[in-house]
C-alpha cells in the first residue's frame, strides 16, 4: 500500500457508512431506527503494540472496526505514527478475560501443601560449599 493507500481506504469506508446511514447528522426518523439497531455498530478491538525487539506488547488503546484487517490498519495509523512499533496485535474485546482485582488475594495465593514450589521452602545444606 502506498502513501495514499490509507486515505483511499478511509474514503471508501466513509462512502459505505454514508450509504448505510451510519454517519452524518441524524434526522428524527433515523434517530428512532438507530436506537433499535445495534447491528450497525462495529465491534470494539483492543490494540497491543511492541515498541522494539525483545520487549513485550503493551496495551495501546481501543478502536472500532468492521473486521480484523481493518482494525490492524487503523491501529497502525493511530498508534504507530512515528515508527514507534515493530509489531501490532488486535484482539476483539469480547475475547479478553480478566481476573477480578478485588479477589486478588485468593486468586494468586499459593495452593496449600505446595510450598516446595518456592525457594524459601528449602534450607541450605551444610555439606555443599558452592550454595
pTM of the predicted structure, to 2 decimals: 0.55
Rounded Cα gap, residues 50 and 76, in angstroms: 12
Are 47 and 87 contacting, i.e. CB atoms less than 8 angstroms apart?
no
pLDDT band, very low/low/confident/very high, at 15 (cuts 50, 70, 90): low
pLDDT at 24: 44
Residue 29 has pLDDT above 60, yes or no: no
Q: With H, G, I as helix, E, B as strand and everything else as coil, classify residue 49.
A: strand
Q: Which DSSP symbol is given to 88?
A: E
45: closest CA among 68, 22, 17, 23? 68
pLDDT at 33: 54
Q: Which DSSP symbol is given to 38?
A: -
- Domains contained in the chain, CATH given: 40-109 (3.10.20.520)
Residue 56 has pLDDT above 50, yes or no: yes
**Grid cell at residue 42:** 462495529
Residues 40-63, mean pLDDT to the nearest whole number: 91
> How do residues 116-128 score in pLDDT, each as one tens digit?
777 777 777 777 7
> How do residues 57-113 score in pLDDT, each as one tens digit?
999 999 999 999 999 999 999 998 887 889 999 999 999 998 888 887 777 776 676
Burial class (CB in 10 A: 0-12, 13-18, 19+), 117: exposed
Q: Would you tell me the crossing angle of helices 5-20 and 68-79 to the nearest 10 degrees? A: 120
Amino acid at each position: 500500500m502506498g502513501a495514499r493507500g490509507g486515505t483511499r481506504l478511509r474514503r471508501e469506508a466513509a462512502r459505505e457508512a454514508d450509504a448505510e446511514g451510519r454517519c452524518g447528522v441524524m434526522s428524527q426518523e433515523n434517530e428512532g431506527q438507530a436506537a433499535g439497531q445495534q447491528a450497525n455498530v462495529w465491534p470494539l478491538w483492543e490494540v497491543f503494540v511492541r515498541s522494539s525487539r525483545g520487549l513485550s506488547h503493551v496495551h495501546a488503546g481501543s478502536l472500532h472496526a468492521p473486521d480484523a484487517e481493518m482494525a490492524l490498519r487503523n491501529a497502525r495509523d493511530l498508534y504507530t505514527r512515528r515508527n514507534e512499533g515493530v509489531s501490532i496485535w488486535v484482539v476483539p474485546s469480547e475475547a479478553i478475560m480478566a481476573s477480578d482485582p478485588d479477589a486478588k488475594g485468593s486468586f494468586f495465593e499459593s495452593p496449600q501443601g505446595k510450598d516446595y514450589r518456592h525457594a524459601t521452602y528449602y534450607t541450605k545444606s551444610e555439606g555443599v560449599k558452592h550454595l
